[in-house]
Structure 1
């Protein structure tokens, strides 16, 4: 009896492609399941009962232009594998939509824990939690220290005008997902557009860097950075600000969003900023603008997921309340630009 296909993944077609491209890799019938936690691209754990692999593909249904580009995600992970940045080894990229209905790629399975909740970290204790939080910051600094040209990514993006293009991109994606009134979001966008800072040296930007997008082993080391769908060459302070925004529980107060930053021992915003500044040597004086942009970006991302949910095009549970998470993000973004918002420890 054939294994049941998880949503969006035809196991028989996947097996045929793997046998054609990587003969001998698979030694038995494939089974697969959706890996919980992702809210955008779909991630699957696939096994033949001897080995395990991970498959990534775009979400079902409504896919925004320029988003969910599997080829870019595959390319950056492949390029970084030889650096000090921990990433899985890639095995196959398939642009042919006829195989499973969308482009996809396959990579090795890496062991480790993606810590998503304060309770998970609390079980480790404050000392280990603090070490993991600092390792997260240090790994980000290591990523931003990689020379893009040295790993074949010199043309992975256009750093000049990056922040302006980011604003246009996320405004375009907001407009593509509009289905209701969002008071204050256009004001936030316009205020950001009127005060774009000058970027420092460009770097490889992850685009969605947070604790539950990395795997941590039993010795509190980061074994893999995952979910590279938004990566490009650009301003690295966007990653730093997004990491801080995710830790702001008053802004991102949803059960589906990681609460890890509230665990005892997790570094506060001041320590995160100081640690990154020390490790990277970068100027963080304009960080409030980047934090305002991070709240805007998160608001657009959640609204896009809410739009897909309203169309019945999401896979998994936990989407029903995601729409309510947009308004606090808008409020926090405007408060940052007003100078009335201060994160704990800043």
Structure 2
């Protein structure tokens, strides 16, 4: 991918970004992926704790994705699942990085990882280049492209794509409120965390989600964290170059993704979020415009879309509060924890705005 490098390209060395280049080259030899030294290895920045390493071998560019330097529980499994999704949607209309090869065995590099082709594009949250910055019509196209990308994903037949056993779609929506409240309760292991009282309305929102459960619709692939921070745009237009960061992908009700867009979208109701801001914003379509566009592309029933927006606010807020809890315990930067806690509070405010 063409995320901005954290540092200038380094001369070939034994290790870059926690990746032993000699061991990586040896593994690539066995996979028939070029020969000779790994060159121009550099880490890429992104909206994730996972490591992205771009490099060149035998005249071909690669991007390696692996878990963070101190892997979290389940990190290897997450890498394996990401690679599986990318392989499954190959050849579809979904804009995504093309999977080259994956390694679920931690032996070669100490962790699971996969290789994909670089994506030439930019992340809008990090700043708009020209001509996007000067042209409101391109920015309008960017908004519609965001929802079109996820509509294309939701149109993929997950069973035909080999993902029939990738998730547990039965009762997926009914599990959500209790599943995420349990996650919130788990943060109590950090004794320094102030507790759930710091997220006003969280229990009321959970009760509303249980009481207003929408009917089940046919399941499909959902990205799980679909918003501006996890897409890349083409440098020459408002179209998507790729959807990235697939670590929360599963099988369930795909409208979760549409709700996630609106939950994170500027001007969609309730408090504004202190993150995921794009400047200038003039020209972007409204959240209602995006919902209408999705309705043109999908046969899914949108009568209960507010439920999915509320769920997205609730779920994302609880996920972000986890970083705050770790920061309270000294296990994450305090500034990051404070920012994400403020975002979680704003998300709960957005959910309360929806339920009235």
Query: TM-score scaled to structure 2, two decimals?
Result: 0.82
Q: Does 1:288 align with 2:306?
A: yes
* 2:7 corresponding residue in structure 1: none
* 1:246 corresponding residue in structure 2: 264
Q: Structure 1, residues 109-154: CA drift from partner, whole Å, max 9, x if none?
A: 1212221156558614110111121122122111111111222222
Q: Structure 1, residues 198-224: CA drift from partner, whole Å, max 9, x if none?
A: 122222111111233222221333222
Q: Does 1:3 align with 2:13?
A: yes
| Structure 1 unpaired stretches of 5+ | 340-346
Contact residue 136 and residue 211 of structure 1 kept, 8 A:
yes
| Structure 2 unpaired stretches of 5+ | 1-10
Which of 116, 134, 139 pairs up with 2:149? 139
Contact residue 62 and residue 116 of structure 2 kept, 8 A:
yes
Contact residue 52 and residue 64 of structure 2 kept, 8 A:
yes
* 2:3 corresponding residue in structure 1: none
User: For residues 109 and 66 of structure 1, do their structure 2 counterparts lie closer, same or farther at Cα, with a shift above 3 Å needed?
Assistant: closer
User: Highest relative contact order (Cα 8 Å, sep 6+), 1 or 2?
Assistant: 1
Mean CA deviation greater in 60-69 or 79-88: 60-69
* 1:59 corresponding residue in structure 2: 68
Alpha-carbon separation, structure 2, partners of 1:294 and 1:124: 32
User: For residues 62 and 248 of structure 1, do their structure 2 counterparts lie closer, same or farther at Cα, with a shift above 3 Å needed?
Assistant: farther
* 2:319 corresponding residue in structure 1: 301
Contact residue 28 and residue 48 of structure 1 kept, 8 A:
yes
Contact residue 212 and residue 258 of structure 1 kept, 8 A:
yes
Alpha-carbon separation, structure 2, partners of 1:191 and 1:136: 28
* 1:260 corresponding residue in structure 2: 278
Partner secondary structure for residue 219 of structure 1? coil
Partner secondary structure for residue 68 of structure 2? coil
Mean CA deviation greater in 61-70 or 278-287: 61-70
Which of 37, 42, 45 pairs up with 2:46? 37
Which of 324, 333, 340 pairs up with 2:342? 324
Mean CA deviation greater in 198-207 or 74-83: 198-207
* CA shift for structure 1 position 312: 6.3
* 2:217 corresponding residue in structure 1: 200
User: For residues 65 and 102 of structure 1, do their structure 2 counterparts lie closer, same or farther at Cα, with a shift above 3 Å needed?
Assistant: closer
* 1:74 corresponding residue in structure 2: 83
Partner secondary structure for residue 232 of structure 2? strand
Q: Does 1:153 align with 2:163?
A: yes
Which of 128, 148, 152 pairs up with 2:138? 128
* 1:15 corresponding residue in structure 2: 25
Alpha-carbon separation, structure 2, partners of 1:157 and 1:137: 23
* 2:245 corresponding residue in structure 1: 227
Aligned length: 334
Q: Structure 1, residues 39-86: CA drift from partner, whole Å, max 9, x if none?
A: 343333233483321222233447355996111111111110111112
Contact residue 76 and residue 112 of structure 2 kept, 8 A:
no
* CA shift for structure 1 position 21: 2.2
User: For residues 319 and 182 of structure 1, do their structure 2 counterparts lie closer, same or farther at Cα, with a shift above 3 Å needed?
Assistant: closer
* 1:343 corresponding residue in structure 2: none
Alpha-carbon separation, structure 2, partners of 1:194 and 1:94: 43
Q: Does 1:89 align with 2:103?
A: no
Alpha-carbon separation, structure 2, partners of 1:210 and 1:169: 22
Alpha-carbon separation, structure 2, partners of 1:301 and 1:258: 16
* CA shift for structure 1 position 240: 0.3
Q: Structure 1, residues 239-288: CA drift from partner, whole Å, max 9, x if none?
A: 0010011114665633xx32138711111011011111111122211111
